[in-house]
Amino acid sequence: MSKFWSPFVRELEPYVPGEQPKMANLVKLNTNENPFGPSPKVLAAIQAELGDSLRLYPDPNSDRLKQTIADYHGVKASQVFVGNGSDEVLAHVFQGLFQHGKPVLFPDISYSFYPVYCGLYRIEARTIPLDEHYRINPADYRQPNGGIIFPNPNAPTGCALGLEGVESILDHNPDSVVVVDEAYVDFGADSAISLVDRYPNLLVTQTLSKSRSLAGLRVGFAIGHELLVEALERVKNSFNSYPIDRLAMVGAVAAFEDEDYFQKARQAVMAERDRVSQGLHAMGFEVLPSAANFVFARHPSHGGAAVSAALRSRGIIVRHFNKPRIDEFLRITIGSAEQNDALLNALPEVLAGQ
């Protein structure tokens, strides 16, 4: 701890991302990356953009990307905000839309960046316990707050809340911004974007990192009422006026334009998810119903930490959270068929203690 740090920095507890180990022949199933690469049209668009134009700043408003997203989701471009991954978008949300002085509500088992943002922006956090099935109960969010945020599907559980549940939260919190973080929505859940024109307090965030295989480009966006988007633009333009670079811009646009590739890739992930879930069930694991590109599972006779360590010794990395209520679970990213086979073939030996 440096003597030059401010007291504020000393108090911060930064977010810890999933491990990115540098090991050869690793079966990496811990960070929810898509096992299928980006669309070939994305790679071609980025290649075509490589040239003298990189000396020029990108469009500060990302107008082409906003219009592409708006057309895809059937909204107006003025309802779209873009940023460097959904994490940056969420950072602006916490600073610009949640009411400081009142608690922000989010699930007790959820995306662990939320409490980090609360600490960064000095916002009171209040966690709402998931029910006994690790699901969000909308009735629990009927209490005074300065804003509400939750992933849907939730992470790390993978469980999805139906749109009727989302509407229940919106109906009972008309004076608060409700943010639905849809990083994994394309793998089996219903998007709340269909509700934004009916609820001026609804903001939906998404990312191109998961279902469109562009985690390396860092592109995220939000869709909501124009006044919510205007607030985010005011924060963005006071922080970073050029968030989306030229390569990310053209790559993201191409990703939305190649609908056929997108559908095939997401369907392949979902099919593998079902196969992995069935394999885990057959070995005695409890697997929560997942609408994401990962599964959340535990074994009644083997602790999560021990199984994770045994898999690691075999070159297979999964995510274990040493946290209350979920320390027996493993979050397992759905990989390629070969990666998933390696997992399913290794687990019987792990469970047998070999």
Question: All domains of the chain, ordered by start, with CATH?
Answer: 19-37+260-351 (3.90.1150.10), 40-257 (3.40.640.10)
CA atoms within 13 A on the CB side of 134: 23
Measured CA to CA, the distance from residue 271 to residue 276 in angstroms comes to 9
Chain centroid, CA 89 distance in Å: 12
Q: How do residues 19-69 score in pLDDT, each as one tens digit?
A: 777 666 799 999 999 999 999 999 999 999 999 999 999 999 999 999 999
Q: What pLDDT shows up at residue 242?
A: 87
User: What is the 3-state composition of the chain as percent helix, strand, coil, each rounded to the nearest 5?
Assistant: 40, 15, 45
The pLDDT of residue 354 = 62
Residue 100, pLDDT score: 84
> Would you give the end-to-end CA distance of the chain in angstroms?
43
Q: Which strand (E) or helix (H) includes residue 316?
A: strand 316-320
**pLDDT at 162 (0 to 100):** 98
DSSP code per residue over 126-165:
EEE---TTS---GGGG-S--SEEEEESS-TTT-----HHH
Phi/psi of residue 343, nearest 5 degrees: -65, -50
Sites in the chain below the pLDDT cut of 50 = none
pLDDT of residue 292: 98
For the CA atoms of 116, 119, 121, 123, what is the dihedral angle to 10 degrees?
110
Which residues is 294 bridged to in the sheet? Answer: 333
**What is the rounded CA–CA span in Å between residue 239 and residue 14?**
19
**Per-residue model confidence (pLDDT) at position 11:** 81
Instruction: Check residue 24 and give its pLDDT.
Output: 67
pLDDT at 14: 82
